Amino acid sequence: MHAKTLHIAFVIAGLGSGGAERVVSLIAGQWAMRGRRVMVIAFDDDQAPIFHPMGDAVRVVRLGINSGEGRRIAGLWASFRRLGALRKALAAHQPDVTISFLTKINVLTLLASLGTRRRVVVSERNNPRLQKLSRLWPFLLENLHWRADAIVMQTQGSLECLDDAARARASVIPNPVEIDFPSALPSSDHANPLMRTPRLLAATGRLTWQKGFDMLIDAFAVIAPHHPDWTLVIWGEGEARDALQRQIGQLGLADRIRLAGNSSSPGEWLAQADAFVLSSRYEGFSNALAEAMAAGLPVVSFDCAYSPSDLIDNEINGLLVENGNVPALAAALSRLLGDAALRARLGAAARETGIRLRPDMIVKQWDDMLEAIGVG
């Protein structure tokens, strides 16, 4: 008698270029390769591009319901429509376990599972206390956590966001990192940073207040005259683009700081960078920092909540500075950009971080979590 093939459904807002989408693609792909039935349910439409390939073995179901962001009544109506469509999709496909990502989607998935025996795992991918969400969503999530069979957080520090009852069902699983896509293969220039000029300091993420690129620009403005062979390139798009572009212009640094937009493929920025900086005011788990370290780039980061201190051992595999301290960030960047030996030492140590974040290692932790709730 053959054992039943485990059927897993992921639920996520869309299939764009974000960190949660990247994690879903890696875990779903790993499980599908191992013979599990895997589907991804997304709320975007069929015409929206899939940035992180899912693989032919992963079934993708797109519900095509816009979130109605920015319009209160439209957003509320869209949420009701999403809830109904998700409940119908889960009833039709009958997965053995449903895994949802991000606060709003977690709420909808838990609501869609009320009155059923469906097994649900919710995964929080940001700092729940600092996200710029309507207070309604965190309130609903806190009061629906009882319906989740398990809760996945990304860092030890983030557990403090849960009450005692929820924390008892929580697992800490960091994000997987995969850097062997063609555009991110280390070049000989990375091996010998003295060979390439000008050199590129990279940052990446949505152009939002959370990512702190305004502070990064101010810090780079302080040190730019002392490091004329370095350029700061910020990858990503978002609502802060115009404000950041004005800031760059007012500082007279249009030739030294570039807003590069979204990368055309995963890891494109990694292939071009000589060093990496994370200037976020807060994080859930910084995929960009983890990928930069796994690729062997020397890194500087604010010690924000959460994740940088989980990844960086200060002075060993990177440099940590006090969160929000722009002069300290400028000093650390100046030290890194001016010292090739330091960059080489930190980069070599940072690469070791990638070993414990390999997809197969992280998927094993997800396997253990599913077994613990009786669906593995």
- Exposure of 205 in the CB half-sphere (CA atoms within 13 A): 27
Q: Cβ–Cβ contacts within 10 Å for residue 276, how many?
A: 27
Same-domain pairing of 135 and 26: yes
pLDDT for the residue 347: 96
Phi, psi of 332 (to 5 degrees): -65, -40
CA distance between the termini of the chain: 18
Q: Output the pLDDT for position 74.
A: 79
Residues 294 and 367 placed together within one structural domain of the fold: no
Cα separation, 214 vs 356, in Å, equals 32
Q: What is the pLDDT of residue 193?
A: 46
| Radius of gyration of the chain from its Cα atoms, rounded to whole angstroms | 21
Same domain (yes/no): 132, 223: no
From the CB of residue 235, how many other CB atoms can be counted at a distance below 10 Å? Answer: 22
pLDDT of residue 182: 38
Residues 61 and 199 in one domain: no
Q: Are residues 111 and 244 both part of a single domain?
A: no
- Indicate whether 139 belongs to any domain: yes
Residue 208 included in any domain:
yes
Q: Is 2 a member of any domain?
A: no
Question: Of 326, 349, 346, nearest to 218 (Cα)?
Answer: 326
Whether residue 240 lies inside any domain: the answer is yes
93: helix, coil or strand? helix
**CATH code of residue 71:** 3.40.50.2000
Domain co-membership, 77 together with 23: yes
Note whether 166 and 228 are same-domain residues.
Answer: no
Q: Is residue 104 part of a domain?
A: yes
Quick check: is 144 in a domain?
yes
The ranges of the chain with pLDDT < 50 are: 1-2, 181-194
* 209 and 73 fall within a common domain: no
Q: What is the pLDDT of residue 70?
A: 59
Q: Contact at 8 Å (CB) between 193 and 343?
A: yes
Domain extent for 286? 182-356
Q: Tell the residue number behind the tokens 């900086």, with chain if given.
A: 277
Residue 1 lies in a domain: no
How many angstroms separate the CA atoms of 41 and 221, rounded?
Answer: 44
Same domain, yes or no: 214 and 109: no
Backbone angles phi, psi at 159, to 5 degrees: -60, -25
Number of domains in the chain: 2
- CA distance to 210, 221, 324, per residue, from 327 (Å): 19, 11, 9
Q: Is residue 38 within 8 Å of residue 8, measured between CB atoms? A: yes
What confidence score (pLDDT) does residue 135 get? 76
Identify the three-state secondary structure at position 96: coil
Same domain for 131 and 118: yes
With respect to residue 310, please indicate whether it lies within any of the assigned structural domains: yes
Q: In angstroms, rounded to a whole number, what is the distance separating the alpha carbons of residues 239 and 97?
A: 36
Same domain, 140 and 200: no
| One domain for residues 147 and 191 | no
